[in-house]
Structure 1
Amino acid sequence: MQKNIPNYFIENQSIKEKTYYKMGGIARYFSTPSNLYEIQETILWCHSQQLPCSILGSGSNSVYSDENFSGVILSLEKLNHWFWETDEYLFVEGGVTNTEIAEICLVANRAGASWMFRMPGQVGASVRMNARCYGGEISQIVKNVITIDQYGYIKFYTVEEIFQGYKLTTLMNKPEIVVGVRLYFPNKSAAEKLLKHMYDCEEDRHRKKHFYLPSCGSTFKNNYSVGKPSGQIFDELGLKGLKVGAAEVSQYHANFVWNMGSAKTNDMLELTAIMRNKAKKELQAVLELEVQPVGLFQKEMYQKCGMEKLGPSYEDANGKKWVGLFYYPNNFVTKLFYSNNEFPKILYEAPFFEYFQTPFAGRPDVFVSICQLISFEAAKRNPNKPFLQWKTFTIDNPNKIFSIPAPEKYQKKNHKFIDELWKYSVSEIFFAHPEKPKTSYLEFEITPNGEWIALEFDGIRKRSAQNTKPNEKLWDSLIINEMCIHFHNDKDLRYVFGMSFTYNNLKKVISDQQNYIYFQCALSLGYAKYYLSPAWKQEKNLHFKNMKKIKDENLKADFHQPAKFWKVKLF
């Protein structure tokens, strides 16, 4: 019996109720997280319970096995938050639908997303497969992508690191969830023009009967070496109307396979196997599935449909194949991952987001990374050796971003350790103990010029007895890295500053038994500009009737919320 089931889990959920195709068995657990923390909790719960896990967006491009799913399906249906960072930059969570993005841009008179209108699916899956249609391609509008991997670590990518070509990305064979996307829309357009294109796209889909019956759209990718689209190939082979059970090749588009009402997943896959074999046998056209099978399948079906092209597979004790999984319990692989002795390791790298996620409040080109320099065991053996390294970096002029420097009086005295440094422009990091975050946490602040402060807390904003007055001598082994300039990937100029911590610096907040630590990065830039990484969703104080009071309350950014900090396991 599984223990400590999160309260956003649903047990014994019918999969056919959650997917476009209306097919599939029963999911033992169906997780509906609404933020990054609950996604991470779901992943780590799967680890602890040794259960397989798959990811479900809107189910517009996946077909689940008829066999019951004996693990956890992690749904992104509640990861649907979005906001304009600036006039041109739109941040969306991975569960925002493609149609919603087109509509958001329509309201803002921004060109670049009208082709996404009525395109089934969510942006996370669209990024993963580099979706395209009606002259648009998702790679054309993406700037940055944030993912969570199968071990619960956040990763950050630029557009160049993701997209490789036609329906091809580096994420397609990586067990990572697209949880956030920063989209870029530099051009304005009249609403009438955008709306016309949106309606043209919708009308074309209706004309081709895209929504006539349940399907996942194109069943196979186009193989451009053949010289013609897959739909045309199947049309020329006379496959329109071909049936297996209640699954049928569409009479309108030969690359669509419809569920006529009571089709099983096995019906649909048997039909696709016939289509694939006929194209190969008669036209020497080797076609790959575009729709993603997920779950447990007979080995014969796995081979007939060419599922080996769709990513890693795992064989169970009965010789059946697990495919389309995000995580599969394999103690050997997990132990290998955590015992890997190659250091340094990046534990976290991501941008900052405005604290309140206020529309058009701006976005600083500032990023943060946390790197583990030596193993956890080595750090305990050498407690004064650099262990974790925290870097803040920007590709912009740091004097422009960190615009309130510490007063010159400190510089004249060569005084770098400054209490209440938060009054100036600083980068901050908090570390908290996973088992007692509210009574044991640390705060470090630093400016690009190397002014810094370190504080220890025994309660929320309650300084420990030895830190009532900040004491620089308590942090002798801490290394301050003042701003330096270097190039990333030999091309991107970066201004970098930060700190390196020893085990002795952090032992108060490290869980020795589980090797976990909580952290939170923040920026306090002055002029009521506050930023977080990773970001929280801020809840409004809805009980206030006075709107001015709501505004005043929300202007008080509070970084001292250790229960919300991010969790990482140390290697």
Structure 2
Amino acid sequence: MREFILPSFFESNVPLRERGYYAIGGTARFLARPESITDLSALLFWNREHRLPLAIMGKGSNIIFSDEDFPGIVLSLEGMERISWLSEEELLCEAGADNTLIAEELLKSGRSGGEWLYRLPGQIGSTVRMNARCFGGEVSAITAGILTLSLDGRLSWKPPEEVFHGYKHTALMENPEIVVAVVLRFPTEKAECEIRRQMYEHKTERDKKHHFDYPSCGSTFKNNYEAGRSSGRIFEELGFKGMVEGGAMVSLHHANFIYNRGEATAADVLRLAGRMRSAALERASVELDLEVQCIGRFDRTLLELCGVRCRADRSDPGKAWAGLLYSPDDIESETALPCFPVLLVEGRLVGYSFHDRELPAGGFAAVEQLRSLEDGVSDPEAPFLRWTTLRTESALFACKPPLSLPGGSFVEGLWQYGVSELFIGQGGAGEAYLEFEMTPEGHWVALRFEARRRRAKGYEALSAEPWISGLTMVNEKDRFGLEFSYALLEPFIADSRVSLQCCASSGRGEYGLFPWWNNPSSPADFHQPDKFFRVTLS
């Protein structure tokens, strides 16, 4: 077997039966547990080189792993679990945050609208990915925005209407993107005793269904609302309560639950699920979709019987793969030419230390690649990257330079006011980097460093002169920023990569980051090029 130099957050030879709620599955060659966006990006860079199958598991509360060993990487986001209030109403949750912990945070803050999340198994990233719902609540109704990471390493901010497509269906289920974080909105305040009462009513209802009597993932099939009754009621009418297949059994209390009553295999569960689905179609004329997600290589007939989307295994036509984010066979998507401009990073600025309401809400930054590397080389003076910040009435930019400084002017000491900042580094290849600061009124400053806080030779004295030919101002109704030529950036492009870091300072000692860092140093210090977010240019 090929030997690898592994990232620090990798584990080898991990039994998947110990990771999923079903207590079923073979052994994963690698389990990756990143703790930050930077770690997650590093994983994708690593796998781009080594080309192993990649799947994401969340908490394992809605997954059945194959009985076979998994020959690649299973990604768990349990280490990315931080939550922070951006404002009185908006709560930022990393994808690995447990649903129950979010509900408990809402209880503590007196905010209603998420009581139904209490004791809902799983993490918020998976909850959003499948548009989970229960007890009359649905995650689409409380989501303000979603941050995703594509397999080619681009961070994108998605509004709810772009993601949610109805009952337990989202665009994310069709695209190989990783949910990194979610902003949830809770405008309604309620007395703590009332929130607590509703939470415990939901807990009691779950206990009545005997959800946790045996290893299980809860509901096996989604409801089909055209049927006029729940999937559980349909299977009860068809006599499936207590039905057995090997070590798998339909619950005596809820006919849409399949238990692992002891030593069940994934094949046992899928055979039983296949019988249930076929009976619903043939005897009740209702087509049902499997809610439990399958990951790994299975018998192809079983997957098709359960209606699971899969791809044939090239080495064995009787087998098929399900649940892969990436497969080494994904050649077509890797070679597809991007359509410019391409968003490299886009998202909300978050308080430097990830504390509640640490930064005035409203900061939103983006960096786009405007043309290909090839076009950049052929026309090096044309704009190549575009950095913009949302023009907002947020208190983030309320501290303004004196009126005596005309808009658009080069200003030393701009950090004393409310500014948006962009750092551009060498993609992990060195310590040199650029720093740009800008206000909504167009005041700006630029610096070049050869190492951390050490200004490059010829750039010791601040001046606009070295920059004018490589910069273009962006002054739009809703955004402000700068465009950079390829010639200006070329010294910082290494192996088609650069590193980017969006920041902000209010001028009052409040600081923000996007992407945010894990365990940032104190006091706030943006000059840490090793923490900048690496991106690949096309």
TM-score (norm 2): 0.96
Asked if the contact 1:83–1:91 (Cα under 8 Å) also holds between the matched residues in 2, the reply is yes
CA distance in 2, matches of 1:235, 1:331: 42
Partner Cα separation in structure 2 for residue 283 and residue 69 of structure 1 = 37
Preserved CA contact (<8 Å) 1:114 1:194: yes
Aligned pair in 2 of structure 1 residues 334, 159: CA closer, same or farther (>3 Å)?
closer
Q: What's the offset of the Cα at 1:472?
A: 2.1
Counterpart position of 1:298: 299
What does residue 525 of structure 2 align with? 558
Question: How far off is 1:504 after superposition?
Answer: 1.0
Indicate whether 1:384 and 2:381 are aligned: yes
Which residue is equivalent to 2:412? 419
Q: CA deviation at 1:539?
A: 4.7
Runs of 4+ in 1 over 6 A off after TM superposition: none
Structure 1 distance, partners of 2:278, 2:81, is 40
SS at match of 1:164: coil
Q: Which residue does the alignment assign to 1:326?
A: 325
- How many angstroms apart in 2 are the aligned matches of 1:2 and 1:26? 17
Distance 2:150 2:92 in 1: 20
In structure 2, the residue matched to 1:547 is none
Distance 2:390 2:384 in 1: 19
Q: Which residue of 2 aligns with 1:31?
A: 32
Partner of 1:457: 449
Report the counterpart of residue 478 of structure 1 in structure 2. 470
1:66 Cα shift? 0.4
Q: Match of 1:544?
A: none
Letter in 1 for 2:513: L
1:408 pairs with 403, 410, 413, which one? 403
Structure 2 counterparts to residues 157-236 of structure 1, below 5 A: 157-236=158-237
Amino acid at match of 1:531: G
Matched AA of 2:405: Y
What is the alpha-carbon distance in structure 1 between the residues aligned to residue 233 and residue 397 of structure 2? 58
> What is the CA deviation profile of residues 94-147 of structure 1, one whole-angstrom value per residue up to 9, with x for unaligned ones?
111111111111111111111111111111111111111112111121111111
For residue 531 of structure 1, the aligned residue among 483, 488, 512 is 512
Q: State yes or no: 1:508 paired with 2:509.
A: no
Q: For residues 335 and 202 of structure 1, what CA distance do their matches in structure 2 show? A: 45
**SS of residue matched to 2:499:** strand
Q: How big is the alpha-carbon RMSD for the aligned residues of Structure 1 and Structure 2?
A: 1.6
Determine if the alignment matches structure 1 residue 344 to structure 2 residue 345. no
Contact kept in structure 2, 1:314 and 1:323, CA below 8 Å = no
- The Cα of 1:449 is off from its aligned counterpart by 1.7
Match of 1:492 in 2: none
Secondary structure of the residue that 1:409 maps to in structure 2?
Answer: coil
Quote the residue 1:497 is aligned against: 480
Q: Tell me what 1:317 maps to.
A: 315
- Following superposition, the deviation at residue 316 of structure 1 comes to 2.9
Distance in 2 (alpha carbons) for counterparts of 1:518 and 1:27: 31
Counterpart check, 1:137 vs 2:133: no
SS in 2 for 1:281: helix
SS at match of 1:199: helix
1:147 aligns to 2:148 (yes or no) = yes
Deviation at 1:409, TM superposition (A): 3.2
Q: How does 1:5-20 map to 2 (within 5 A)?
A: 5-20=6-21
Residues in 1 aligned to 2:472 and 2:258: alpha-carbon distance in whole angstroms: 61
Q: Distance in 1 between matches of 2:46 and 2:78?
A: 19
Structure 1 gap segments, 5+ residues each: 486-494, 541-553
Cα distance, 1:415 vs structure 2: 7.2
SS at match of 2:20: coil
**1:86–1:361 CA contact under 8 A, matched in 2:** no
Whether the aligned pair in 1 keeps the contact of 2:353 and 2:520 (CA below 8 Å) is no
Tell me how far apart the structure 2 counterparts of residues 366 and 452 of structure 1 sit (CA, whole Å): 17
Q: What is the CA-CA distance between 1:497 and the residue it aligns to?
A: 0.8
Corresponding residue SS for 2:11: strand
Aligned to 2:108: 107
| Inter-partner Cα distance in structure 1 for 2:207 and 2:148 | 34
Can you list the C-alpha shifts for 1:533-558, whole angstroms capped at 9, x where unaligned? 11113357xxxxxxxxxxxxx3x321
Q: Greater shift after overlay, 196-205 or 359-368? A: 359-368
* Alignment CA distance shift 1:156-1:314 (3 Å): farther
> Could you state the TM-score of these two structures normalised by the residue count of structure 1?
0.91
Q: Is the 8 A contact 1:85 1:357 kept in 2?
A: no
For residue 424 of structure 1, report the CA deviation from its aligned partner: 1.9
The Cα of 1:314 is off from its aligned counterpart by: 5.1
Q: Which of these residues, 412, 421, 430, is aligned with residue 428 of structure 1?
A: 421
| Number of positions where the alignment pairs a residue of Structure 1 with one of Structure 2 | 536
Which segment is superposed worse, 262-271 or 76-85? 76-85
TM alignment of 1:24-103, pairs within 5 A: 24-103=25-104
SS, match of residue 465 in structure 1 = coil
- Summarize the Cα distance change of 1:112–1:60 in structure 2 as closer, same or farther, 3 Å threshold: same
Give, in whole Å, the separation in 2 of the partners of 1:292 and 1:303.
13
